[in-house]
Structure formats: C-alpha cells, structure tokens
Amino acid sequence: MKKLFYLLAIFVFASCSSANKETQIIILSTNDMHAMIDNYAKVASYVDKVRAENKNVLLLSGGDMFSGNPIVDKHEDRGYPMIEIMNKVGYDYGVLGNHEFDYGQDFLRRRIEQAKFPLLCANMKVSEQALIKQPEPYVIFNLDGIEICILATIQVENSNGKLIPSTHSDKVKNIDFYQPVETALQYKYLRQKCDLFIALSHDGIDEDVILAKEMPELDIIIGGHSHTRVDGMIENGVLISQTECHLKYIGKTVIRLKGKKIVDKKFELIDVSTLQAENEEVKALIDKYYAETTMNEVAGKAGSDFTGKENIGGLMTDAITKMLNLDIAFQNSGGIRIDKIAKGDISLLLLYTLDPFENDVIQFEMSYDEIYSLLKNSYRKGSRHADLKTSGISYSIKVKNDEIVDIEIRDTNGNLLDKNKKYRTGMNSYIATDYEFEHKDAGKSLNIKSVETLIEYIKQQKEVYPKPDRTKIEEITD
C-alpha cells in the first residue's frame, strides 16, 4: 500500500510538472525572397543570434525562393546559389511557391534534392510523368516535448480552365493543383495530433484570411505570395503574418506554452535594414556569386527615370516592335519585375532582374477583333489599371459597374485602329499560352527571349526615354 502511494505520488508529481512546464517556441520566417540574396548575410547573423539565445527556434520559408535576381536565375545551374545560401542560413522547412516552377521541373527537382529543408505542399498531385517527386503535404515533429504540425499550400489560379500556380503553364505539366483552402480543410484532423498547428501558406493574404475564418483549428498562418506586410493580425483567433518580400523583413513569431497549451502568441517584424552584424561565411558566398557574374555589362543609358510599369512596359514592348519588325506588342504587368529604371547606366543585371522569366517572343497575325479579345484580359474586376502594356497601339477600357463596356484602340497616330486590317503582333510566351483570347493564327516562336530583345534594343538606341502612357481605364457613369 505504501509502495502504491509512493508510485502514485511520483505519477501525480510528474504529470503536474509537465502540465506546468513552460515552453517557448520561436518561429523565424521569410517569404518571397525572389533570389534577392543581398540581405542574407544579415538575416543569417540574426538567425544565429536568436538560435544562440533560445533553444527552440525554427526557420521557415513562405515560398518564392526564385526569380528576381539574375545572379541566381542565370546561374548555369539555375537557382543553385539560393539553395546553397538557404542551406547555410539553416532553414528547417519551406513551402513550394509558384515561382519555384519558373526554371522548369528538371531544375526544380535538383534544387529540392539539394535543399536540406523539406519543401512541402498539400494541394498538388504529381503524376508519374512529372520530373519532380510528390512533396509531403505536412510534417509533424516533436520539439522540446511539443508536437508541431506544419501544413503547406500553394496559390492557384484559373488558366484556360485548369488550376495552376502563377507560372508558365508549360512548367507545371503533369501536375494537378487544387484550391488551397479546400485542401487545407481536409487536414483539420491534424489538430488532434499536435499542440501547435501551423499553416505555411503561399496563397496570399486574402486566401489566408479566408483560411483563418474557415479553419480556427490553426494556431498560426505564416503567409506569402502577395508580398504584403502583415504585422501579425488575428483573424478568428488565428495569428497571420507575412514579411512583404525580398528579405526586407524577418518574421518572428513567439509562442509560449504551459504544458501542451498555448498561452500566448505574438508576432514581430524585424526590419533587416536596421541590422548591422553579418554572417561572414554567408557574406563571402554572396560576394563570390556577384564576383563571378558577367552581368555588370552596360547595355545603354536611361535619359531620364522610368517610373512604374506603364513606362517600363512601354520600353519592353517598343523593343519587340522595333527589333522584330512587328506592328504591335503586348507585355503583361506581372512580367515587369521592377518599378523603376533610374536615369543613368542600364546594366544587364538590371534587365534580367526586370524580365527574369526566359520567355520567348511569339508572333501572331491578328485581326482587330482578336486584338480586342486579348485586351479584355487587361481588365480584372476591381482593377484600376490595365494589365497589358503595349507598343504600336494605345487603348482605353471603358468600364461601368465593374464590367467592360467598350475598349477604344488607337494606332500610333491617334486614329481608331483599322477594323479590317491584319496586324503582325508579338508577345511573350506566357501571355500567348496563359491568356484567353481569340486567334486563328496558332502563333510561332521567334526564338528570341523578350529580355534579349530588350537588351539588343537598348544597345542599338544607346539612350532611351520614357514615353507617354498608352493605357487607360475610364469609369463610365450615367
């Protein structure tokens, strides 16, 4: 009897002490780095410091590691420098972002193999013909006695009736994608298996808010994709965060638990520009990659500042019409990856940053009606800007109650575009395959990349200037 009492006492004591044990878990996160490696020496040093001072630290990637810096994108083994650096910084887990597919599946497969951190994604099904393996949808692991679950999802959009992430549709062949929120809801049961339930989402802030509303089982959502600065908002009890992009910030989520129960969760954005210390090893690696590049060559000069996508899109499309002898060219805003070209030298590095996607220019012979059907893509509900930038034409979309009423298209002389003529048009292969529009001509590749056309154009012009705006949205009122 005495012995039984003794055992019972030990049991009660042990369970009380674990029930009261206080645990702190720190989750550091970055999203949408887009190959912008420059800040990684500081980020690494900060991560080192937090790890030295705390025992339970995780570092997560919210996706879109690639596409945005030619040092990484144009490396002969595309994307490798980014993975080498991220391995050194010591990421624990990541979610696949839409731009992870930009280099093609063969490069992505090798990058996934080299990454020392698993890349997760629940809302995709990889077929046997695909070149990458099926990623794990989630992971569960124990950290200091706490069961942690990370469930990961990627953004999707409708492309010609199929759901795919925002990348060239050729790059995601043999992979099926599903709505991220609907998929996440199928994993509600994981709540029973863990103490801390994290969604690692590359879905964008709007979807994250919907996810939080529909899935209060989650404790936190570490977001990405929309490049939003989300300084720890609480929605339906779920803590949502996002660190904008390009390593401007590091996300720091601090979770405190008593026993297995979360008693506090807080989020803080660490502004990387305020950090001084650098990790020497990572700094040396970044310097090495910059020293190796041949991208410092100057193509020509900007005679004055190009500001905004209208100015820059005008330059890109003029390059296509002038260098390839076409009547009209189109450029989608999403393919314009910088907001400014400053007056002065324009380097190849800048141009590959502006247009990193390696898309060929495709030529179509198009009628007026076909051009009109393409320009309909330019207006998206609630949008106040025209997506497609142009050369050879200017246009105004007339909108009433968020619906297109008419599109007025004018030639370079300001006259209405001739409805009976055929036009030789050019656009990048992303628009050609991923935008819905009428075209009898199947289109042919001109076997030159849009960025190469731009480089040649600036070299030939020597000095380039911004042109007046060519697109307009006009609100029609009664």
Report the alpha-carbon distance of residue 425 to residue 421 in Å, rounded. Answer: 12
CB 242 within 8 A of CB 61: no
Closest CA to 272 of 298, 245, 247, 240: 247
Pick 242 or 429: Cβ nearer Zn ion: 242
Residues 8-27 that bind Zn ion (CB under 5 A): none
Pick 181 or 255: Cβ nearer Zn ion: 181
Report the alpha-carbon distance of residue 422 to residue 419 in Å, rounded. Answer: 8
C-beta of 163: minimal distance to Zn ion in Å? 15
Binding flag, residue 97, Zn ion (CB under 5 A): yes
Closest CA to 204 of 187, 222, 186, 218: 222
Q: Say how many Å lie between the first and final Cα of the chain, rounded.
A: 91
CB 198 within 8 A of CB 189: no
The stretch among 13-21, 97-105, 242-250, 370-378 that binds Zn ion (CB under 5 A) is 97-105
The stretch among 5-13, 90-98, 125-133, 277-285 that binds Zn ion (CB under 5 A) is 90-98
C-beta of 189: minimal distance to Zn ion in Å? 28
Report the alpha-carbon distance of residue 55 to residue 443 in Å, rounded. Answer: 58
Pick 64 or 318: Cβ nearer Zn ion: 64
The stretch among 76-84, 119-127, 217-225, 431-439 that binds Zn ion (CB under 5 A) is 217-225
C-beta of 430: minimal distance to Zn ion in Å? 15
Copy the structure tokens of residue 120. 């997760």
Residue 127's CB is within 10 A of a number of other CB atoms, namely 10
Binding flag, residue 98, Zn ion (CB under 5 A): yes
The stretch among 224-232, 255-263, 334-342, 467-475 that binds Zn ion (CB under 5 A) is 224-232
Binding flag, residue 243, Zn ion (CB under 5 A): no
Give the distance from CA 459 to its chain's centroid.
30
Binding flag, residue 251, Zn ion (CB under 5 A): no
Pick 172 or 319: Cβ nearer Zn ion: 172
Pick 97 or 137: Cβ nearer Zn ion: 97
Binding flag, residue 100, Zn ion (CB under 5 A): no
One symbol per residue from 166 to 205: x for binding Zn ion (CB under 5 A), - otherwise; what is it? ----------------------------------------
Copy the structure tokens of residue 273. 């520009």
The stretch among 91-99, 142-150, 172-180, 300-308 that binds Zn ion (CB under 5 A) is 91-99
The stretch among 82-90, 225-233, 346-354, 358-366 that binds Zn ion (CB under 5 A) is 225-233
CA distances from 6 to 10, 18, 477 (A): 6, 18, 84
Report the alpha-carbon distance of residue 78 to residue 102 in Å, rounded. Answer: 10
Q: What Rg value do the Cα atoms of the chain yield, rounded?
A: 25
Among 34, 74, 78, 225, binds Zn ion (CB under 5 A): 225
Pick 64 or 370: Cβ nearer Zn ion: 64
C-beta of 228: minimal distance to Zn ion in Å? 11
User: How many binding residues for Zn ion (CB under 5 A)?
Assistant: 4
Torsion of CA 389, 390, 395, 397, to 10 degrees: -30
DSSP class of residue 110?
A: H
Pick 101 or 372: Cβ nearer Zn ion: 101
Binding flag, residue 313, Zn ion (CB under 5 A): no
- In single-letter form, the type of residue at position 179 comes to Q
Binding flag, residue 64, Zn ion (CB under 5 A): yes
CB 226 within 8 A of CB 202: no
The stretch among 85-93, 218-226, 379-387, 406-414 that binds Zn ion (CB under 5 A) is 218-226
CB 120 within 8 A of CB 127: no
Residue 90's CB is within 10 A of a number of other CB atoms, namely 15
Residues that bind Zn ion (CB under 5 A): 64, 97-98, 225
